[in-house]
Amino acid sequence: MKFLRNLLASIIGSIVAFGIIFFMFLIFISLAGAEEGVVVKKNSVLELTLPLPISDYTGTDQADPFAGLFEKSQGLDEILHAIRVAKTDDEISGISINSNFLLAGTSQAQAIRRALADFKMGGKFVYAYGDIFLQKDYYLASVADSVFINPVGSMDFKGLSAEILYYKSLQEKTGVKMEVVRQGKFKGAVEPFLADKMSDENREQIAALLNGVWAAMLNEIAESRTLTTNELNEIADTLGARTPQYAKTSGLIDDILFKDEYDSIIKRRVGVEADKKYNSIALSDYVEVANSKRLNKGKDRIAIIFAEGEILYGQGSPDYIGQGTMAKALAKARDDDRVKAVVLRVNSPGGSALTSDIIWREVIRTRKQKPVVVSMGDVAASGGYYIAVGADKIFAEATSITGSIGVFGTIPNISELAADIGVNAEQVGTNKNAVDYSFFEPMSDNFRAYLQEGIATTYNTFLERVAAGRDMDLEAVEQVAQGRVWSGEDAKKLGLVDEIGGLEDAIAEAASLAGIESYSLRKLPRYKSGFERFMDDLGGAGVELREVAMKEELGEEAYGILKEIRSAINQKGIQARMPFTINIR
């Protein structure tokens, strides 16, 4: 036994020693890379490849030598900044888009597309090549001067769709269900737990949303490809781009080429001989160069506060919005005399109604001291819209998902399962309502009534916040509320947002409201670096590592279902959340 203990201790010691050596090696490599720096050669082509999921903001210090080693995503803010720097960089001749399977939201893709269109205005070229073009990939690529596809590649261009899973029968079979109380006839976030098929109201709003987003995409594609939206819809309806030849005939693609032939076109464009390599630089490397160059300069500042992820009660992190980090960020902006205006960038499906109201209050406090403008990303719905309505003005992308003014509450219940397996829970309390709810007993009528009262109160508060923020009467808000979601374009028509535009437009409006012309940007909040979070995760028994392993084992779709169910079970308190989990494809 002593031998086994010693052997185990030796093994553990070796593992720890190896880990230390490994991290020292990473430190050495990182510092060596930092000292060398990135050199942009003359007449270079910026290779726009986007292999990682895109978030609006990573929130870490780019001076950190570990910044590129542990990142799980790419920051949209850095991508856009790099493209804008490249526009005026004499060493960059053009951009080559080669990004299959774009891991970004539609509005994020739209923002990158807009930056590329602006890049072209500087007289430089943009070309795009793909082995496979999914719809979002093609939407981005269509901004290019010319678009090329592999001869044996494929293209997906058929219109948008969404699939929602329903769990009512599963609950009945397992005896585990979600007790639901909701407010708003369109509040479909809990519908999958109450029915086995989609309601007419939910189908109506999803169809309207998809049609709105699709129309916005088609308008931009049509302009770039000199086609009409009717022609594009005809191509989608007939699957008229399903092969490379069909895609070329339809006008979506300029030519069908192998990758080396595409490279030859770029060589000719930049004046490089056929047997030579042209200079290129990866976006991930160019971001380092771009981050050292400021496009906005001035003693005055505009603070950009990024609110991204679900809204949960707590401190907050790069993965979720908490009242802690948001309150601190807004307070920093208020207290900084150099900050003359604030832009709140919201990319959130909502969540905790309490947290949303706390953040809303901080926005109101900030607005009393300096202008606040909201920029909506892919989604700013329910709680995400709640925190936005305290601003002076709201900008949304045409493809943004917003609105969803409604609330609900869900509580897991296993009384049927408990009865089936012979578990009986008995409760004892000092007062009539001391035992208000048990997972092991059906929800009582009294408790449901109290919960419904709380839901109704929160819903009415939400309506009042919107009415005050948007200068609308309650009846008008009620007409566009009921938990229904809207595209950014429709939201503007209804008065829920002020303008269609991106983050840059919101920044320009904030500067105008503050009466300043030259300014620098201050991004908030700041989070721990990827390396620090990685080490924290190791110290906390590897939660993040386990999630990655589970995702690989189950597969993307099954893991998504598990995550959705787990999120529903873990919801605490009344929720102002997106009315359904939707994956537009």
**Catalytic one of 136, 177, 187, 340:** 187
Cβ atoms of 144 and 103 within 8 Å: the answer is no
Cβ atoms of 458 and 466 within 8 Å: the answer is no
CB neighbours (10 Å) of residue 367?
Answer: 18
Q: Is 187 a catalytic residue?
A: yes
Contacts of 534 (CB under 8 A, 6+ apart): 70, 544
Reduced to 3 DSSP states, what percent helix, strand and coil does the chain have, rounded to the nearest 5?
45, 20, 35
Q: CB pairs under 8 A, 24+ apart, for 439-442? A: 439/412, 439/413, 439/414, 439/415, 440/414, 440/415, 441/415, 442/413, 442/415
Beta-ladder partners of 413: 177
**Catalytic one of 55, 96, 356, 382:** 382
Whole-number Cα distances in Å, 489 to 348, 445, 484, 500: 18, 42, 14, 7
Place of tokens 């201790």: 9
Q: What is the DSSP string of 182-237?
A: EESTT-GGGHHHH-SS--HHHHHHHHHHHHHHHHHHHHHHHHHHT--HHHHHHHHH
Contacts of 90 (CB under 8 A, 6+ apart): none
- Phi, psi angles (nearest 5°) of residue 60: -115, 165
541-561 burial: b if 16+ Cβ within 10 Å, else e: eeeeeeeeeeeeeeeeeeeee
If 0-12 CB within 10 Å is exposed, 13-18 middle and 19+ buried, where does residue 110 land? Answer: buried
Q: Is 382 a catalytic residue?
A: yes
In angstroms, the CA 191 to CA 153 distance is 40
In 329-422, the DSSP E strands lie at 339-348, 350-352, 372-381, 393-396, 401-403, 407-413
Q: Which residues are catalytic?
A: 187, 382
